[in-house]
Chain A
Amino acid sequence: MILSPLFIFNIIPFFLFLDDLFSDMTLVLKIFVLLTIVSYVTQHLGKGPIALIVIAALSWFIIFDYFYIFGGIYVLYMLVMFGATQIMMDFFILAPQAAMEQQMGGGVENQPNGKDFADRQRQALNMRKRAGIF
């Protein structure tokens, strides 16, 4: 079934589409990394020849030589900049609460509250009255 020609001819375009997407998005990511490098260096060194040399050196190392490291770092940096850590903090705070409420059987509103306590006290008082304690 998996190796049947129909399956293969249907699945190959899907993988080709993914391959195309991956290469294009890598190019977009490299352009953004290059923009960040250019912006950072020109902010510190201006637009002179030294800045151009530093831009070329940094670009060579970051974009061409070690992009498999710096690409991931750049994506992480962007996620942190846009506030992904806030989402993680929300998860860390709310997820234990959700788990605890589920273990308690349906949240705070299903737990004994003041009204239940008052009902129990009233029942106990009635029982005591019937038993002749009061």
Chain B
Amino acid sequence: MNQRGNFILIAVGLMIAVIVLLPVLMYVFPPIDIIIKIFLVFMIFQTVKGFLGNGSLTLIVSGILIYLLVIKWWWIGASGWLAITLFSMGIFSIITWGSKTVLDLTKPR
């Protein structure tokens, strides 16, 4: 049971490390920061437009979300976007599989 816990903790730790990497890169390299923020703005506007269609309400709701997720809490917006993207692409499954098969950090040395 303890070994299972170790494996799950290692896999979850690797996932969190991958997610946290993007805000760190954004903080260290300003060009990445600008690119990701522009990308986030487009994505938020596109999402809201998909829900509400064209109109002033779309602009207002997008504005609120862009202020909160791109300007104020940019690191949560960026890491959340990365987490959603990796989730939907199934990358986390690869990380889970790789932490067991390739890295095999639970194996006694």
> A: which residues have CB within 8 A of B?
21, 24-25, 27-28, 31, 35-36, 38-39, 82-84, 86-87, 90-91, 94-99, 101-103, 105-107
Contacts and interface: CB of A to CB of B under 8 A. Distances in A.
15 contacts: A35-B48, A36-B51, A38-B52, A39-B52, A82-B84, A83-B87, A83-B88, A86-B90, A87-B93, A94-B7, A94-B100, A98-B6, A102-B3, A107-B104, A107-B107
Contacts of A91: 7-8, 11, 96
B90 A83 contact: yes
Given A94-B100, A102-B108, 20 more contacts: A24-B73, A31-B65, A35-B48, A35-B52, A35-B61, A38-B52, A39-B50, A39-B52, A82-B88, A83-B90, A86-B92, A86-B93, A87-B92, A91-B7, A94-B97, A95-B8, A98-B4, A98-B100, A99-B3, A103-B3
* Interface SS of chain B: helix
Contacts of B92: 83, 86-87
A99 B1 contact: yes
Contacts of B104: 107
Given A28-B69, A86-B90, A107-B104, A99 B7 contact: yes
Interface in B80-107: 84, 87-88, 90, 92-93, 96-97, 100, 104, 106-107
Contacts of B88: 82-83
Nearest to B61: A31
A99 B8 CA distance: 11
Nearest to A40: B51
Interface of B: 1, 3-4, 6-8, 11, 48, 50-52, 61, 64-65, 68-69, 72-73, 76, 84, 87-88, 90, 92-93, 96-97, 100, 104, 106-108
Given A24-B68, A84-B87, A95-B7, A106 B107 contact: yes
Contacts of B73: 21, 24-25
Contacts of B93: 86-87, 90
Nearest to A24: B68
B49 to A, nearest CB: 10
Contact of A98 (B7, B87, B90): B7
